Structure 1
Amino acid sequence: MSPSAPLWLARPSRYAGLPSLRARWLLAALAVLLLASLTSLATPGPPPVSGDPAARGEDRADEILYETIVEGVRHGGNYYLVAADALRTGGYPMRPFVTFRLPTLATVQAGMSPVAAALLLYALAVGTLFAWYVRLGGVFQRATIHLIAVGLAAAGMASAVQVELVAFHEIWAGLLIALSLAARRPGRWQTAVALGLAAMLIRETAALYVGIMAVLAFVEGERREAFGWVAATAVFAVAVLLHAQAVADVVRPLDQASPGWAGMLGVGFAIKALTLTTALALAPPALAALLAGLAIVGWSAWRDPLAVRAFATLCAYVALIALFGRTDTFYWALLVAPLVPLGLVFAVDGVRDLIRAALDRRRITVTRTAR
């Protein structure tokens, strides 16, 4: 069938004009995803914040841990000794070495005042938002839709405006990943690679994003870009090796080991994590879960190489959280939170086109005429 005129997008979505059979299979997959998203309502989540001043230490245990480490380094302490003392005092696991964050963020923040660190985070969030404003120019039919898209992107960065989370590594890495994606264009990948490397040096799990970018660059024949991502990964690998050795020097035999990360909590937990780390948390839980599922699908509908990268990144992190996340590591979703609500702006055309193609029942009739 011929594609219908776009609703919000300037060009037809990826699902416009699909054969009806393929559209029905994809629509069935969408229904399964939305049903899986609703399982988040029955999935265990992190313990709620009590709001009781007396329980501040429990409510903000991780934030206080990172703030303590930054303060210790700011006053001249060695990062690894300070981190080991803070983890040991807080009863945190110290083995394997990945229980220690890389020293990058703490070292940078220790070199400035807390106010300057907060301003730097806000500047990164505003810069990321502006980069997406520029990148989405010409994608939509009307300026109002463009502004809606920017508003949705801001909704994904809601955690970045919470000053108490300034020392949280995933927030910084997530913003850098989003900025890296916005900066990447065919033939112009150097800035994107540098930002991806910065994200990895702040939070190791950002390496999943860099790996996806490298694979897709190879698939698209962008060999120089692919080698750029591989080179960034090599630099990161060296940093991790040095980090592991430094951690080994401060860990004692009786220090606590991690219980592991094979949470196997499923897609519902991953969707819940995405909603809790964005402004979707303000919506009723069922609606928030459905919107998160639609947002992921929305990225698949935009007919642009950037959308393929964003969609693959979201799917990879959903799988990571579903398989390995625990209820106390829901904040891994912050690594992709800036991308989540933005996908809704592409879902409008995508879902409409998918439904229209699936419902198309026209048949081609061949007739023979006598001459």
Structure 2
Amino acid sequence: MARPLTPLWLTAPSRFITLKRPTARLGLLLLAILLAASLTALASPGPPPVSHDPAQRANDEADVVLYESIVAGVRGGGDYYAVTAEALRTGNYPLRPFVTFRLPTLALIQATLPRQVTVALLYLLAAAVMIAWFIRLRGAFARPPPLAIALVLLAGGMVAFIQPELASFHEVWAGLLIALSLALRRPERWVEAVAVGMVAMLIRETAALYVGIMAVLAFAEGRRREALGWGAAIAVFTVVVAFHAHAVAQVVRPIDPASPGWAGMLGFGFFVKTMTLSTALNLAPMRLAAPLVGLALFGWASWNDALALRALTIFAGYAALLGLFGRIDTFYWGLMIAPTILTGLAFAPDGLRDLVAAALDKRKIIVTRLMR
């Protein structure tokens, strides 16, 4: 029997509304463990603080400067792979394995466009993400104020994505494209989502994790045609990467340095820290920002919608990627999922109220025997 609890913010009850008391108490325990695990971000290593001194930009934003120099070299008529190899050597970056070279997609596009047009396209993409998520979220909330809060939280996850100085950063574009693809995906309309997801992969290879998760979920739900669509995108990406690896091999020398590897094993706390650094939570003290990341994940688990489960699975996949393979200097991988993660806080009030109510439920079934 469903509990007669009116949703607080949502149009429909949360996922926890029908839990039995033992299960709900277990849910509260898991939530407490999640929040406690989030606090491990306080002890997790992070990148050195940014000085905000324009004279120190080469140190504060070394990767951005690297990508800008590559775009400038290609715009000047240079071959992408030769220009990139020289830029990596000049900056003392590793050149092996081939994944240390970004795919040429973004650099080639930016080299053909004036910088003002590139920045305008970045703003248009960010606006498209906001509109797409407004369309997806407006049916989830019962009143305009909670919807507005959800959109503010979405904007809070996108603060790093509207900075013109980061327009050459591959994760900025790929993260927005992943957010757009996820919002566009519907059971009856998935072609657009697949197309956008493939573009994200061609800009930043780590977007393949998103596409792979979407393919697996489609297959698990019995949506074979959609799963084949995501699989076809991965196949195209695989061919592109093979050509990319061959091109890199032509410019790399045997004496060029190799990457130290990606077995960072920095744990869940590092994932949480990357989320705080990649969103508006960077403005809050870590002891407050870290549990808010955990609460945002709980909020996504609360929303009783297939989109929420997809989003939560994607967050879990990138949390594993960052926790197992991320290094201190690759914290920006968190940008791949930063745009949407904070929106989960808008679902948390209903989920928390329903979970607590279920855990405290003391209803009893009374059986009355009638004698005739």
Query: 1:204, 1:271 → 2: CA distance?
Result: 22
AA in 2 matched with 1:263: G
Cα distance, 1:359 vs structure 2 = 1.6
Structure 1, residues 168-207: CA drift from partner, whole Å, max 9, x if none? 0011000000000110111100000000000000111111
Structure 1, residues 228-260: CA drift from partner, whole Å, max 9, x if none? 000000000000100010111110001110001
AA in 1 matched with 2:35: L
The match for 2:69 is 68
The match for 1:305 is 306
The match for 1:230 is 231
Query: 2:74, 2:357 → 1: CA distance?
Result: 59
Cα distance, 1:367 vs structure 2 = 4.7
The match for 1:160 is 161
The match for 2:104 is 103
Cα distance, 1:30 vs structure 2 = 1.0
The match for 1:212 is 213
Query: 2:192, 2:66 → 1: CA distance?
Result: 32
The match for 1:248 is 249
Q: Secondary structure at the match of 1:194?
A: helix
| Root mean square deviation, CA, Å | 1.1
Which residues in structure 2 correspond to 1:42-191 (within 5 Å)? 42-191=43-192
Which residues in structure 2 correspond to 1:294-333 (within 5 Å)? 294-333=295-334
Structure 1, residues 254-311: CA drift from partner, whole Å, max 9, x if none? 1110001111111011000001000111122111111111111111111111111111
The match for 2:264 is 263
Number of equivalenced pairs: 371
The match for 1:2 is 2
**When the two structures are superposed, what TM-score results if normalisation uses the length of structure 2?**
0.98
Query: 1:281, 1:359 → 2: CA distance?
Result: 36
The match for 1:281 is 282
Q: Secondary structure at the match of 1:256?
A: coil
Cα distance, 1:52 vs structure 2 = 3.0
Q: Secondary structure at the match of 1:340?
A: helix
Cα distance, 1:38 vs structure 2 = 0.6
Structure 1, residues 109-146: CA drift from partner, whole Å, max 9, x if none? 11101111111111100111111111112211101211
AA in 1 matched with 2:312: F
Cα distance, 1:362 vs structure 2 = 2.5
Cα distance, 1:368 vs structure 2 = 4.0
Larger displacement relative to structure 2 (344-353 or 165-174): 344-353
- The unaligned stretches of length 5 or more in structure 2 are none
- The unaligned stretches of length 5 or more in structure 1 are none
Cα distance, 1:22 vs structure 2 = 1.1
Structure 1, residues 38-93: CA drift from partner, whole Å, max 9, x if none? 11011111110122344221111011000000111111111100100000100001
Cα distance, 1:210 vs structure 2 = 0.5
Runs of 4+ in 1 over 3 A off after TM superposition: 365-371
Q: Secondary structure at the match of 1:167?
A: coil
Q: Secondary structure at the match of 1:239?
A: helix
